[in-house]
Chains A and B, each alone.
Chain A
Amino acid sequence: MPTVSFREALNQAMDEEMARDERVFLMGEEVAYYQGAYKVSQGLLQKYGDRRIVDTPIAEEGFVGIGIGAAMVGLRPIIEVMTFNFSLVAYDQIVNHAAKMYSMSGGHYYVPMVIRGPGGAAHMLAATHSQSLESLYAHIPGLKVVMPSNPKDGKGLLKSAIRDENPVIFIESEMMYGDKGEIPEGEYTIPIGVGEIKREGTDVTIVAWSKMLTRVAGKAVEELAGMGISAELIDPRTIRPMDWDLIVNSVKKTNRLVVVEEGWPFAGVGAQISHEVMQRAFDYLDAPIERVTQEDVPLPYAHNLEVASLPSVEKVVKAVKNVMYQNGK
């Protein structure tokens, strides 16, 4: 199996889908002549020309809306936002228009569109450029939200998202574009809404996605193994629809759950996961569910404060020990 970077995997997904379907085009800031702000679209302009790889003015509301209109009459837009922080400028288009169109038109029009780009904190970018907004989008019926954690899933899920008949919010990570991983040879897709057990375990279930999975929870699991704690690590890969059965069944086995997310605690994705597990596996739980989230503040610039605010391996280990009643009281 070839080894590629995350950005190469995403690039391959777009390239392959554009080759197989004339209706697919890529639009966004700096996607064409600049070759992508994070080089995800590198080389696509040369291959497909500026009819299908379209640089836009700095006008997220406008070009997300253009994607919606184009999708309504049969095209398959991939709209790149330079970061998901900027998608908030287009929140009206995404929430009031893309998400509503199919239902509100009684099925007359639908919006097969992908809105993709990086989300989450990078390094000292401060409050407006570091947000994890998946819960904001997952809240909205009509939207799907996908957050891959590795190149293989990134490629397979992006291809599925492009072929999906609904608006899909596809959140990548600035910090992960250089991550390398093996991908299958040739054509493959990964279905939206199906999670994966990354590592089997018996003592506790840890749910984490995207950067939190690879940078935080994955490392915590290693550390916990050294302490004799066997953690089962689940990557839901899709935030909405969530693979509830995978999580619930795991908790029924381990009887303990820790959810790790980069976003804020209030009304976060972990809150929803906790509720679902409480409803469906209450009698299986041996401890209250723990959540590890970013601190409930706008992310500061200073490095030490930034680190203190974000989830860490130590915070996850501590949360696991809490649900194992091993922190001592």
Chain B
Amino acid sequence: MSTSTTEVEQKNTSSRTMGLPKKTLLKWYDEMLLIRRFEEKCAQLYGMGKIGGFCHLYNGQEAVSTGSIGAITENDYVITAYRDHGHAISKGIDPNAIMAEMLGKSTGTTKGKGGSMHLFDHRKNFLGGHAIVGGHLPIAAGVAFAIKYRNEQKVILCYMGDGATNIGSFHESMNMASLWKLPVIFIIENNRYGMGTSVERSSAVTDLHKRAVSYNMRDAVIDGHDVLAVYKATKEAVDHAKRTHEPTLLEMRTFRYRGHSMSDPIHGHYRTKDEVESQKKLDPIELFADILRTEGLADASYFKDAEKRIKKIVEESVTFAEQSPEPPLEELYTDVYRESTGE
């Protein structure tokens, strides 16, 4: 981790934006900032008892969803685990609907049926939000199976935490995806801890991307603090998948600033305050801001203005959510069985 971070810091002085349009780069900055501020607001609302259930925040990992989803098109699919707010925002889901969902309102992404851990939007090809660790990995392979079945030029990005790499569905999904050449990019967001258990204490092989070797699958390990590195690696994997239908396993090394969920302490007994604080110095948003500044793409006034714009979006989402009605009681029995015509 520290090695790649040093590389990032060294490279900040060189041109490393890969010829990407300024508009795209600034959009990514705004998006990461939106995710950060949106979730800070979530933490507040959770503390006030307005958001219920389990709420897992993405603070510190923003570069992963932004950089990787930045590498796909609207027609490509995304599926993820329960730490899903960042991916949902990156895939273009309206923050108003996400906030309303967290508050359990009828205007939420799933009309108040799913909550924080189960965001969905078929119009955005966002297939959830899944809260059983590893449960969505075979589903991702199934979406990729359908892509290949119809011979489409699409991919699905499938995110998981480091903890998911030790459950059986990981093995089954990786094997079949590789065996059948299914266009899925498995992205491990290695934030070092599955809840409170470190990778070292849970995995016999701690370089998680090396698992790919067992499945004859392509792999790479990426500094997940660096949105450009995330984009580059994902784009390469996506292009390859669209050409060949072949899967890739990417390990993004990242860090979550908060506890596993809102009900957990920030460091607790399983990691030190020093570790958290030192990781915060490698903040993905700050790192990217440095690049934009160095490359002359954004200045102090841009960043100041971005804060204001983002704050407004977040405030609006809260107002929208709070003013939205609760789901009507008739909703209790809707969407359990879909009507079948027999045709």
Considering the chains assembled together, what is the distance between the CA atoms of A30 and B113 in angstroms? 38
Contact of A97 with B340 in the complex, beta carbons under 8 Å: no
CB distance from A236 to the nearest CB of B (A): 17
A163 at the interface (CB under 8 A from B): yes
A118 at the interface (CB under 8 A from B): no
Contact of A59 with B176 in the complex, beta carbons under 8 Å: yes
Q: Specify which chain A residues have a CB less than 8 angstroms from the CB of B139 in the assembled complex.
A: 65-66, 68-69, 72, 93, 97
Q: Specify which chain B residues have a CB less than 8 angstroms from the CB of A64 in the assembled complex.
A: 138
Contact with A along B225-257 (1 / 0, CB 8 A): 000000000000000000000000000000000
B73 at the interface (CB under 8 A from A): no
Contact of A69 with B143 in the complex, beta carbons under 8 Å: yes
CB distance from A283 to the nearest CB of B (A): 29
Q: Specify which chain B residues have a CB less than 8 angstroms from the CB of A68 in the assembled complex.
A: 138-139, 142
Contact of A62 with B172 in the complex, beta carbons under 8 Å: yes
Stretch of B20-28, B53-61, B127-135, B288-296 that contacts chain A: B127-135
Most buried by B among A51, A72, A144: A72
Q: Specify which chain A residues have a CB less than 8 angstroms from the CB of B111 in the assembled complex.
A: 106-107
Contact partner, A97, options B77, B114, B135, B149, Cβ 8 Å:
B135
Q: Specify which chain A residues have a CB less than 8 angstroms from the CB of B122 in the assembled complex.
A: 105, 108-109
Q: Specify which chain A residues have a CB less than 8 angstroms from the CB of B127 in the assembled complex.
A: 69, 72-73, 109
Considering the chains assembled together, what is the distance between the CA atoms of A319 and B109 in angstroms? 53
Q: Specify which chain B residues have a CB less than 8 angstroms from the CB of A74 in the assembled complex.
A: 146
Contact of B335 with A61 in the complex, beta carbons under 8 Å: no
Q: Specify which chain A residues have a CB less than 8 angstroms from the CB of B337 in the assembled complex.
A: 102, 142, 144, 165-166
Contact of B140 with A69 in the complex, beta carbons under 8 Å: yes
Contact partner, A66, options B77, B114, B176, Cβ 8 Å:
B176
Considering the chains assembled together, what is the distance between the CA atoms of A74 and B146 in angstroms? 8
Contact of A67 with B142 in the complex, beta carbons under 8 Å: yes
Contact of A51 with B149 in the complex, beta carbons under 8 Å: yes
Contact of B138 with A93 in the complex, beta carbons under 8 Å: yes
Contact partner, A107, options B130, B146, B147, B335, Cβ 8 Å:
B335
Residue of A nearest to B138 (CB): A65
Considering the chains assembled together, what is the distance between the CA atoms of A189 and B343 in angstroms? 10
Residue of A nearest to B123 (CB): A108
A110 at the interface (CB under 8 A from B): yes
Number of interface residues of A (CB under 8 A): 45
CB distance from B36 to the nearest CB of A (A): 26
Number of interface residues of B (CB under 8 A): 47
Q: Specify which chain A residues have a CB less than 8 angstroms from the CB of B129 in the assembled complex.
A: 105
B179 at the interface (CB under 8 A from A): yes
B69 at the interface (CB under 8 A from A): no
Contact partner, B138, options A61, A108, A142, A160, Cβ 8 Å:
A61
B6 at the interface (CB under 8 A from A): no
Contact partner, B342, options A106, A142, A163, A166, Cβ 8 Å:
A163
Contact of B128 with A105 in the complex, beta carbons under 8 Å: yes
Contact of A102 with B110 in the complex, beta carbons under 8 Å: no
Considering the chains assembled together, what is the distance between the CA atoms of A25 and B335 in angstroms? 25
Contact of B338 with A73 in the complex, beta carbons under 8 Å: no
With A61-B172, A92-B132 as known contacts, state yes or no: A66 contacts B340, CB within 8 Å: no
Contact of A106 with B141 in the complex, beta carbons under 8 Å: no
Contact with B along A45-79 (1 / 0, CB 8 A): 00000010000110101111111111111110000
Contact of A69 with B146 in the complex, beta carbons under 8 Å: yes
B121 at the interface (CB under 8 A from A): yes
Contact of A73 with B146 in the complex, beta carbons under 8 Å: yes
Contact of B145 with A62 in the complex, beta carbons under 8 Å: no
Contact partner, B143, options A62, A73, A166, Cβ 8 Å:
A73
A191 at the interface (CB under 8 A from B): yes
Q: Specify which chain B residues have a CB less than 8 angstroms from the CB of A93 in the assembled complex.
A: 135, 138-139
Contact of A62 with B169 in the complex, beta carbons under 8 Å: yes
Q: Specify which chain A residues have a CB less than 8 angstroms from the CB of B181 in the assembled complex.
A: none
B38 at the interface (CB under 8 A from A): no
A103 at the interface (CB under 8 A from B): yes
Considering the chains assembled together, what is the distance between the CA atoms of A70 and B140 in angstroms? 9
Q: Which B residues from 86 to 130 make CB contacts under 8 A with A? A: 108-114, 118, 120-122, 127-130
Contact of B135 with A109 in the complex, beta carbons under 8 Å: no
Contact of A106 with B120 in the complex, beta carbons under 8 Å: yes
Considering the chains assembled together, what is the distance between the CA atoms of A193 and B212 in angstroms? 46
B175 at the interface (CB under 8 A from A): yes
B19 at the interface (CB under 8 A from A): no
A175 at the interface (CB under 8 A from B): no
CB distance from A172 to the nearest CB of B (A): 21
What would 30 A/B residue contacts be, using CB atoms closer than 8 Å?
A: A57-B175, A61-B138, A62-B169, A62-B172, A62-B176, A63-B172, A64-B138, A65-B169, A66-B139, A66-B141, A69-B142, A70-B146, A72-B139, A73-B127, A97-B132, A97-B135, A97-B139, A102-B335, A103-B335, A103-B336, A104-B110, A104-B114, A104-B120, A104-B128, A105-B120, A106-B112, A107-B111, A165-B340, A189-B342, A191-B342
In the complex, the 10 A-B pairs of residues with the closest C-beta atoms, listed nearest first: A69-B142, A65-B138, A62-B172, A106-B110, A105-B120, A66-B142, A69-B139, A165-B338, A59-B172, A106-B111
Residues of B within 8 A of A (CB): 77, 108-114, 118, 120-122, 127-130, 132, 135-147, 149, 168-169, 172-173, 175-176, 179, 334-340, 342-343
